[in-house]
Amino acid sequence: MNREFRSTIIAGNWKMNMLSTGLKAYAEELLPLIPGYKSWCETVVCAPFVLLGEVLRVFEKSGVGTGAQNMSQHGSGAYTGEVSAAQLVDLGVEYVIIGHSERRELYGETDASVNAKVLAATEASLHPIVCVGESMRQREIGVTYDVVSMQVKAALFGLPSEQLHGVIIAYEPIWAIGTGMTATPTDAQDVCRHIRSVISSLYGEQAAQAVPILYGGSMNDKNALELLAQPDIDGGLIGGASLKPEAFAVIVNAANQ
């Protein structure tokens, strides 16, 4: 982490988990364990669409931000089942995950659709958490940097430099998501540093230094401290561990050291 230049962010991705009936108890367990507004770290919960209103309510005035897990690239219209950036902002949502590998693999999201969503999110003043990462096969054949470079460049294509400040990149090696496997701190740092160099090639070094880069891929309460000690890892996008308040709090507190 390098707090001199950029924010530290721990974002929980609940995926398709949790019920509204359990949110009050979750918040009551989590909040006493984390620093709140006095934190070095921005803590965010990214919840399913149907839970966003209740998440906003239970975390009101707590300092915990709220994020969605997806959004439409379209502003409005005949897109049944979709949710627009403007609707998220109107609700009070501040963050949105874009391009998660599960969305790419299971629902056919492409680099082009990810780019369209990034542009729509930043235009609406949402903070997109843009996911990039390689498969195990891509890592094995030595094209990790090529894959990640292409994903970053495609996601940011056409984004004006003045809107880059709202963007967050999350490096999530696909082979580590939900598997219990984790990139070593050195490997994760190397890829995150490369991502920053790609952003620098597009927007300049000063702008690149200001972009938070998170690590996802089985970051948990056991390995967070070592991963977060790396200079180009500015936080985490946390899956399973974010469903457990005590484990999630350990990660948030690791980011505050």
Q: What are the helix (H) ranges across 75-143? A: 85-91, 101-107, 111-123, 136-140
Collapsed DSSP state (helix, strand, coil) of residue 10: strand
* 4 included as an active-site residue: no
Angle at 128 between CA 156 and CA 8, to 5 degrees: 110
CB 257 within 8 A of CB 1: no
Catalytic residue among 100, 102, 134, 194: 100
Catalytic residue among 54, 109, 134, 172: 172
Query: Is 109 marked active-site?
Result: no
What does the alpha-carbon distance between residue 199 and residue 165 come to, in Å, rounded to a whole number?
A: 12
Tokens of 67: 């994020």
d(Cα 134, Cα 174) in Å, to the nearest integer? 6
Full DSSP string of 17-28: ---GGGHHHHHH
CA distance 94 to 126: 5
30, 249 Cβ separation under 8 angstroms:
yes
Catalytic center residues: 100, 172
